[in-house]
Amino acid sequence: MVADATAPATNKFFAGHGKVKFGGLIKFTLIDFPGRPAAVIFTQGCNFRCRYCHNPELVYPHLFTEPVPQEEIMSFLQRRQGTLEGVVVSGGEPTLHDDLPAFMASIKSLGYVLKLDTNGSRPDMIQELIDKKLVDYIAMDLKAPLEKYALITGVDTNPEILTRSMDIIRQSGVAYEFRTTYDKEVLTDADIENLQNLTHHTCYRVQECLPVAKEKAALKVLHKEI
Ligand code: SF4
Protein backbone atom coordinates (compact mmCIF):
# COMPACT_ATOMS: atom_id res chain seq x y z
CA MET A 1 0.00 0.00 0.00
CA VAL A 2 1.28 3.44 -0.88
CA ALA A 3 1.22 6.33 1.57
CA ASP A 4 -1.59 8.87 1.52
CA ALA A 5 0.00 12.19 0.62
CA THR A 6 -3.02 14.18 1.71
CA ALA A 7 -3.58 12.59 5.11
CA PRO A 8 -1.56 14.57 7.64
CA ALA A 9 -1.74 11.99 10.36
CA THR A 10 -0.30 9.19 8.29
CA ASN A 11 2.34 10.67 6.05
CA LYS A 12 5.63 12.22 7.05
CA PHE A 13 5.76 13.99 3.69
CA PHE A 14 2.57 15.85 4.41
CA ALA A 15 3.70 17.35 7.69
CA GLY A 16 4.43 21.06 7.56
CA HIS A 17 8.09 21.56 6.79
CA GLY A 18 8.41 24.72 8.85
CA LYS A 19 10.73 27.21 7.24
CA VAL A 20 10.64 27.40 3.46
CA LYS A 21 13.76 26.03 1.79
CA PHE A 22 14.61 27.20 -1.69
CA GLY A 23 16.00 24.93 -4.36
CA GLY A 24 16.49 27.51 -7.08
CA LEU A 25 15.44 30.66 -8.86
CA ILE A 26 14.70 31.60 -12.48
CA LYS A 27 15.52 35.26 -12.71
CA PHE A 28 13.36 36.13 -15.70
CA THR A 29 10.51 34.48 -17.55
CA LEU A 30 7.75 35.63 -19.85
CA ILE A 31 5.91 32.29 -19.94
CA ASP A 32 5.28 31.24 -16.34
CA PHE A 33 3.02 34.07 -15.16
CA PRO A 34 0.30 35.01 -17.68
CA GLY A 35 0.88 38.56 -18.89
CA ARG A 36 3.71 39.38 -16.48
CA PRO A 37 7.48 39.46 -16.68
CA ALA A 38 8.36 37.41 -13.64
CA ALA A 39 10.88 35.45 -11.61
CA VAL A 40 10.22 31.89 -10.45
CA ILE A 41 11.22 30.62 -7.02
CA PHE A 42 11.37 26.86 -6.45
CA THR A 43 10.79 25.44 -2.98
CA GLN A 44 12.28 22.13 -1.89
CA GLY A 45 10.12 19.18 -0.91
CA CYS A 46 7.01 17.53 -2.34
CA ASN A 47 4.46 15.02 -1.03
CA PHE A 48 3.81 13.57 -4.50
CA ARG A 49 6.08 11.38 -6.60
CA CYS A 50 4.77 12.03 -10.10
CA ARG A 51 6.01 9.60 -12.69
CA TYR A 52 6.92 12.41 -15.13
CA CYS A 53 8.38 14.87 -12.61
CA HIS A 54 11.11 16.99 -14.17
CA ASN A 55 12.39 18.31 -10.86
CA PRO A 56 13.49 15.29 -8.79
CA GLU A 57 16.09 17.49 -7.11
CA LEU A 58 13.18 19.42 -5.56
CA VAL A 59 11.29 16.29 -4.54
CA TYR A 60 13.65 13.62 -3.20
CA PRO A 61 15.43 14.79 -0.06
CA HIS A 62 18.67 12.98 -0.84
CA LEU A 63 18.91 15.00 -4.08
CA PHE A 64 18.39 18.40 -2.46
CA THR A 65 21.17 20.86 -3.13
CA GLU A 66 22.34 23.44 -0.61
CA PRO A 67 19.32 25.76 -0.26
CA VAL A 68 19.51 29.25 -1.74
CA PRO A 69 19.43 31.63 1.26
CA GLN A 70 16.17 33.58 1.56
CA GLU A 71 18.17 36.80 1.97
CA GLU A 72 19.71 36.22 -1.45
CA ILE A 73 16.28 35.84 -3.04
CA MET A 74 14.91 38.92 -1.31
CA SER A 75 17.91 41.00 -2.24
CA PHE A 76 17.54 39.92 -5.89
CA LEU A 77 13.85 40.87 -5.84
CA GLN A 78 14.67 44.25 -4.32
CA ARG A 79 17.12 44.94 -7.14
CA ARG A 80 14.52 43.98 -9.76
CA GLN A 81 11.70 46.14 -8.40
CA GLY A 82 10.24 48.11 -11.30
CA THR A 83 11.65 45.65 -13.87
CA LEU A 84 9.87 42.47 -12.92
CA GLU A 85 6.17 42.56 -12.11
CA GLY A 86 5.48 39.08 -10.83
CA VAL A 87 6.93 36.28 -8.76
CA VAL A 88 5.90 32.66 -9.21
CA VAL A 89 6.25 30.47 -6.15
CA SER A 90 6.63 26.93 -7.43
CA GLY A 91 8.21 23.68 -6.37
CA GLY A 92 8.33 20.97 -5.23
CA GLU A 93 5.12 21.80 -3.39
CA PRO A 94 5.23 25.27 -1.81
CA THR A 95 2.16 24.81 0.42
CA LEU A 96 3.96 22.19 2.52
CA HIS A 97 5.91 24.95 4.23
CA ASP A 98 4.24 26.47 7.26
CA ASP A 99 5.94 29.83 6.90
CA LEU A 100 4.93 30.25 3.24
CA PRO A 101 2.47 33.07 4.12
CA ALA A 102 5.21 35.04 5.86
CA PHE A 103 7.55 34.56 2.92
CA MET A 104 4.93 35.59 0.39
CA ALA A 105 4.00 38.59 2.52
CA SER A 106 7.60 39.76 2.40
CA ILE A 107 7.56 39.54 -1.41
CA LYS A 108 4.20 41.33 -1.55
CA SER A 109 5.63 44.15 0.54
CA LEU A 110 8.05 44.81 -2.35
CA GLY A 111 5.09 45.45 -4.65
CA TYR A 112 5.13 42.19 -6.61
CA VAL A 113 2.14 40.29 -7.93
CA LEU A 114 2.27 36.67 -6.79
CA LYS A 115 1.40 33.40 -8.49
CA LEU A 116 1.27 30.08 -6.67
CA ASP A 117 1.85 26.74 -8.41
CA THR A 118 0.36 23.94 -6.32
CA ASN A 119 -0.64 20.28 -6.44
CA GLY A 120 -3.67 21.15 -4.31
CA SER A 121 -2.85 18.83 -1.43
CA ARG A 122 -3.06 21.49 1.32
CA PRO A 123 -6.36 23.36 0.96
CA ASP A 124 -6.00 25.06 4.34
CA MET A 125 -2.80 26.73 3.23
CA ILE A 126 -4.37 27.80 -0.06
CA GLN A 127 -7.28 29.28 1.90
CA GLU A 128 -4.92 31.12 4.23
CA LEU A 129 -3.00 32.69 1.34
CA ILE A 130 -6.27 33.81 -0.25
CA ASP A 131 -7.67 35.17 3.02
CA LYS A 132 -4.50 37.15 3.64
CA LYS A 133 -4.51 38.47 0.05
CA LEU A 134 -1.07 37.04 -0.57
CA VAL A 135 -1.77 35.44 -3.92
CA ASP A 136 -2.99 36.93 -7.20
CA TYR A 137 -3.00 33.86 -9.43
CA ILE A 138 -3.24 30.17 -8.58
CA ALA A 139 -2.31 27.31 -10.91
CA MET A 140 -3.38 23.94 -9.55
CA ASP A 141 -2.36 20.67 -11.16
CA LEU A 142 -5.07 18.15 -11.84
CA LYS A 143 -2.98 15.06 -12.31
CA ALA A 144 -5.74 12.68 -13.38
CA PRO A 145 -9.38 11.85 -12.81
CA LEU A 146 -9.63 11.47 -9.05
CA GLU A 147 -9.89 7.66 -9.11
CA LYS A 148 -6.66 7.43 -11.16
CA TYR A 149 -4.58 9.89 -9.18
CA ALA A 150 -2.22 7.39 -7.59
CA LEU A 151 -1.22 6.06 -11.00
CA ILE A 152 0.38 9.43 -11.72
CA THR A 153 1.43 10.63 -8.27
CA GLY A 154 2.69 7.34 -6.82
CA VAL A 155 0.86 8.07 -3.56
CA ASP A 156 -2.71 7.63 -2.36
CA THR A 157 -4.52 10.94 -2.50
CA ASN A 158 -7.75 11.75 -0.74
CA PRO A 159 -10.09 13.03 -3.49
CA GLU A 160 -12.03 15.15 -0.98
CA ILE A 161 -8.88 17.16 -0.28
CA LEU A 162 -8.37 17.86 -3.95
CA THR A 163 -11.98 18.82 -4.63
CA ARG A 164 -11.86 21.07 -1.58
CA SER A 165 -8.84 22.87 -2.99
CA MET A 166 -10.63 23.21 -6.32
CA ASP A 167 -13.71 24.67 -4.65
CA ILE A 168 -11.64 27.12 -2.60
CA ILE A 169 -9.80 28.31 -5.68
CA ARG A 170 -12.94 28.62 -7.80
CA GLN A 171 -14.76 30.61 -5.13
CA SER A 172 -11.81 32.83 -4.20
CA GLY A 173 -12.19 35.59 -6.77
CA VAL A 174 -8.46 35.14 -7.48
CA ALA A 175 -7.42 34.42 -11.10
CA TYR A 176 -6.70 30.72 -11.54
CA GLU A 177 -6.13 27.81 -13.82
CA PHE A 178 -6.33 24.06 -13.50
CA ARG A 179 -3.90 22.16 -15.65
CA THR A 180 -3.16 18.60 -16.59
CA THR A 181 -0.01 17.09 -18.00
CA TYR A 182 -1.31 14.60 -20.53
CA ASP A 183 0.69 11.46 -19.82
CA LYS A 184 -0.61 9.20 -22.57
CA GLU A 185 0.83 6.08 -20.96
CA VAL A 186 -1.71 6.48 -18.15
CA LEU A 187 -4.42 8.89 -19.29
CA THR A 188 -6.88 8.55 -22.14
CA ASP A 189 -8.88 11.07 -24.12
CA ALA A 190 -11.88 10.05 -22.01
CA ASP A 191 -9.91 10.96 -18.87
CA ILE A 192 -9.20 14.41 -20.27
CA GLU A 193 -12.88 14.82 -21.05
CA ASN A 194 -13.68 13.75 -17.50
CA LEU A 195 -11.29 16.43 -16.20
CA GLN A 196 -12.79 19.05 -18.48
CA ASN A 197 -16.15 18.25 -16.92
CA LEU A 198 -14.68 18.37 -13.42
CA THR A 199 -13.47 21.91 -14.13
CA HIS A 200 -16.75 22.87 -15.81
CA HIS A 201 -14.66 23.58 -18.93
CA THR A 202 -13.45 26.77 -17.25
CA CYS A 203 -9.84 27.94 -16.81
CA TYR A 204 -8.56 24.50 -17.74
CA ARG A 205 -5.45 23.75 -19.75
CA VAL A 206 -3.86 20.52 -20.95
CA GLN A 207 -0.12 20.46 -21.46
CA GLU A 208 2.11 18.05 -23.27
CA CYS A 209 4.01 15.48 -21.24
CA LEU A 210 7.64 15.94 -22.15
CA PRO A 211 10.03 13.03 -21.74
CA VAL A 212 12.09 13.15 -18.56
CA ALA A 213 15.80 13.42 -19.28
CA LYS A 214 17.41 10.01 -18.86
CA GLU A 215 19.70 11.10 -16.06
CA LYS A 216 16.76 12.51 -14.07
CA ALA A 217 14.69 9.37 -14.63
CA ALA A 218 17.60 7.31 -13.31
CA LEU A 219 17.75 9.42 -10.16
CA LYS A 220 14.10 8.65 -9.44
CA VAL A 221 14.43 4.92 -10.00
CA LEU A 222 17.32 4.90 -7.56
CA HIS A 223 15.21 6.46 -4.86
CA LYS A 224 11.72 5.06 -4.29
CA GLU A 225 11.01 6.05 -0.76
CA ILE A 226 7.21 5.98 -0.72
S1 SF4 B 1 3.67 17.54 -7.68
FE2 SF4 B 1 5.07 18.55 -9.13
S3 SF4 B 1 7.05 18.67 -8.05
FE4 SF4 B 1 5.77 17.18 -6.95
S5 SF4 B 1 6.38 15.20 -7.82
FE6 SF4 B 1 4.58 15.95 -8.96
S7 SF4 B 1 5.41 17.03 -10.75
FE8 SF4 B 1 7.10 16.80 -9.25
Q: Kindly list the averaged pLDDT for each block of 10 residues, start to end, along the chain of length 226.
A: 50 58 95 96 96 94 93 96 97 95 97 98 97 98 96 94 97 98 95 96 92 60 40
pLDDT of residue 9: 38
Give 189 Cα–ligand 1 centroid separation in angstroms.
Answer: 22
Which numbered atom of ligand 1 lies nearest the CA of 153? 6
Give 190 Cα–ligand 1 centroid separation in angstroms.
Answer: 23
- Atom 2 in ligand 1: which residue has the minimum CA distance? 92
Strand order in the sheet with 175-182: 22-29, 38-43, 86-90, 113-118, 137-141, 175-182, 204-208
Which numbered atom of ligand 1 lies nearest the CA of 46? 4
Residue 48 CB less than 6 A away from ligand 1: yes
Residue 53 CB less than 6 A away from ligand 1: yes
Residue 209 CB less than 6 A away from ligand 1: no
pLDDT of residue 4: 58
Cis bond before residue 173 (omega within 30° of 0): no
Residue 55 CB less than 6 A away from ligand 1: yes
pTM for this one? 0.90
Q: Which own/partner contact pairs does 104-108 have at CB distance under 8 Å and 24+ positions apart?
A: 104/129, 104/134, 104/135, 105/132, 105/134, 106/74, 107/74, 107/77, 108/133, 108/134
Residue 77 CB less than 6 A away from ligand 1: no
Find the angle CA(178)-CA(183)-CA(189) to the nearest 5 degrees. Answer: 80
Residue 94 CB less than 6 A away from ligand 1: no
Q: Which DSSP letter does residue 148 get? A: G
Find the angle CA(88)-CA(120)-CA(23) to the nearest 5 degrees. Answer: 45
Residue 142 CB less than 6 A away from ligand 1: no
Residue 92 CB less than 6 A away from ligand 1: yes
- Atom 7 in ligand 1: which residue has the minimum CA distance? 53
